[in-house]
Amino acid sequence: MPATGVSVSFEEIDGNDVCRVDVSESSGPVFARTPKSPKTADFFVRMGNSTRQLMTDEVLRYEKEHWGLAD
């Protein structure tokens, strides 16, 4: 199933091929299942140029700050 809110483009910059992936902000939390833990849903956020998995208390804080959830 294709992801919604995702666009992929390819460009050549200084003789190098670059793949650019743009992802629009979601209107609420989105959880992912990974091959390492297919039975649990994990929450990840982008921070700068890296991706970080949040622990439960961090997820609740993040939800409240970004979407006004988890009171």
Domain residue ranges in the chain: 27-71
Summarised one tens digit per residue, pLDDT across range 20-48 is 999 888 888 888 998 888 899 999 998 88
What is the distance between the alpha carbons of residues 46 and 50, in angstroms, rounded to a whole number? 6
Global pTM exceeds 0.85:
no
Higher pLDDT, 4 or 20: 20
Pairing mode, if any, of strands 32-34 and 37-42?
antiparallel
What is the distance between the alpha carbons of residues 2 and 43, in angstroms, rounded to a whole number? 20
